Amino acid sequence: MQTIKAAVCREFGAPLIIEDVLLADPRMGEVEVTLEAVAICHSDISYAEGAWGGHLPAVYGHEAAGVITKLGAGVAGFTEGDSVVVTLIRACGNCPSCAGGKPTTCETPYDTVNGPLKAADGSPLQQAMACGAFAEKVVVDQRQIVKIPETIAKDVASLVSCGVITGVGAVVNAAQLRAGQDVVVIGAGGVGLNAIQGARIAGARRVVAVDMSEEKLEIAKEFGATHGVLATLDKPWRSAYKALGGRGADAVLITVGAIPAYEQAPRYLAPSGKAIMIGMPHSGAMASYEPVMLAATGQGLIGSKMGDVVIQRDIPWMIDLYSQGRLKLDELISGRWSLEQINEAIADTKTGSAKRNVILFPR
């Protein structure tokens, strides 16, 4: 095993600790990726705060990009030196979900506690979300990575690993938005901005952004929102109806984990509209609905994990969109930080003002 540096969570809610940890060589079907960038997702923060439980100590981080530096036996289609993005989507390819084209909900369990990571003393260290990318290197399954052009900067590419595919994918895969339909996006953070530009790319007629911040609503318009509505208004869905010409939305995308957002989402819907549930509330948090209203109007609530993407299909498409100037990525980066500054970067992300903060690793 080799020694690398990683940001380790040893206590929920406490600052991460930069430690020397041990990383095993790749096994059958695995690759080692030396990282150049990892973005901070709100899911990493929620996990580190204990929102969804889990094993400690752990290394979080799952929005990463770098270069392959070792190949395990049986790896096909990749060579050392390839530039890749690294995702948390580890799919077996054989379970009912994978076979049905839904690798984001792979049903095969993986032991992430006794994986490639160990603490310096040899004790177990969880590779959280099958990734553990708040570290200089990762060892992951070959199904978790996608090759990208080496000309694309890794800090930009890292965003595609989660926030971009989650937002854009929710529009095209979960909502199955058709050109000319109307959309409401609740939350104009990192995922929300990508849902907004996903709706623009898909040909939405009107896109209404809903957020607590006037500043973020203005940013949302730069990504394709046609209107902005403050969530702090009394009955903000009425303002959305007005913006949409007196009718509800064909799709409402809930990109934040706030329970009020979930409870209000159906109010923005048109008859036969769909609310796409993307943001992740804490375990145990409950929302309530009046079911008869959804049943009587043919509306639906649909969960969407990681945009329901097939990464080998959808990431190359999104990279092409970026190369063509049709998908904004550079504009999503709020700040660049070193691994030693990760707690500052997390604190900045928690203020809600950042789109995406990225940790850079020197080459």
- pLDDT at position 362, please? 87
Is 126 in the same domain as 14?
yes
- pLDDT at position 354, please? 78
Arithmetic mean of pLDDT, 52-73 = 96
Domain total of the chain: 2
Is 72 in the same domain as 20?
yes
- pLDDT of residue 353 exceeding 80: no
Residue 316 lies in a domain: no
- pLDDT at position 207, please? 98
Arithmetic mean of pLDDT, 271-299 = 95
Query: Final residue of a domain: which of 257, 289, 304?
Result: 304
Distance in angstroms (rounded) separating the CA atoms of residues 148 and 205: 32
Strand bridging mode 63-71 / 182-186: unpaired
Is 100 in the same domain as 113?
yes
Arithmetic mean of pLDDT, 12-41 = 97
Residue 324 lies in a domain: no
Question: What SS3 state is found at 275?
Answer: strand
- pLDDT at position 301, please? 96
- pLDDT at position 352, please? 79
CATH number reported for the structural domain that contains residue 96 in this entry: 3.90.180.10
- pLDDT at position 252, please? 98
Residue 287 lies in a domain: yes
> Which domain covers residue 23, as residue numbers?
2-161+329-360
Distance in angstroms (rounded) separating the CA atoms of residues 226 and 208: 6
Chain segment 79-118, per-residue pLDDT in tens: 999 999 999 999 999 999 999 999 999 999 999 999 999 9
- pLDDT confidence band for 336 (50 / 70 / 90): very high
- pLDDT at position 91, please? 94
Chain segment 218-276, per-residue pLDDT in tens: 999 999 999 999 999 999 999 999 999 999 999 999 999 999 999 999 999 999 999 99
- pLDDT at position 77, please? 95
Chain segment 135-179, per-residue pLDDT in tens: 999 999 999 999 999 999 999 999 999 999 999 999 999 999 999
Q: How far is CA 184 from the centre of its chain?
A: 19
Chain segment 194-211, per-residue pLDDT in tens: 999 999 999 999 999 999
Is 221 in the same domain as 85?
no
Question: Taking a C-beta distance cutoff of 8 angstroms, is the pair 106, 90 a contact?
Answer: yes
Residue 323 lies in a domain: no
Is 144 in the same domain as 292?
no
Is 61 in the same domain as 156?
yes
Token pair, residue 117, equals: 């990571």
- pLDDT confidence band for 56 (50 / 70 / 90): very high
Is 133 in the same domain as 153?
yes
Distance in angstroms (rounded) separating the CA atoms of residues 308 and 133: 22
Residue 171 lies in a domain: yes
Distance in angstroms (rounded) separating the CA atoms of residues 131 and 5: 15
Look over the chain and give the mean of its residue pLDDT values, rounded to a whole number: 96
- pTM here is 0.94
- pLDDT at position 68, please? 98
In the chain, what percentage of residues exceed pLDDT 90? 96
Is 133 in the same domain as 209?
no
Is 155 in the same domain as 169?
no
Residue 315 lies in a domain: no
- pLDDT confidence band for 321 (50 / 70 / 90): very high
Residue 273 lies in a domain: yes
Is 184 in the same domain as 144?
no
Residue 352 lies in a domain: yes
- pLDDT at position 363, please? 76
Arithmetic mean of pLDDT, 313-326 = 97
Is 87 in the same domain as 140?
yes
Is 149 in the same domain as 247?
no
**Residue 128: CB partners within 8 Å, gap ≥ 6?**
47, 54, 58, 59, 60, 61, 62, 112
Burial level of 149, CB count in 10 A (0-12/13-18/19+)?
exposed
- pLDDT at position 351, please? 87
CATH number reported for the structural domain that contains residue 179 in this entry: 3.40.50.720
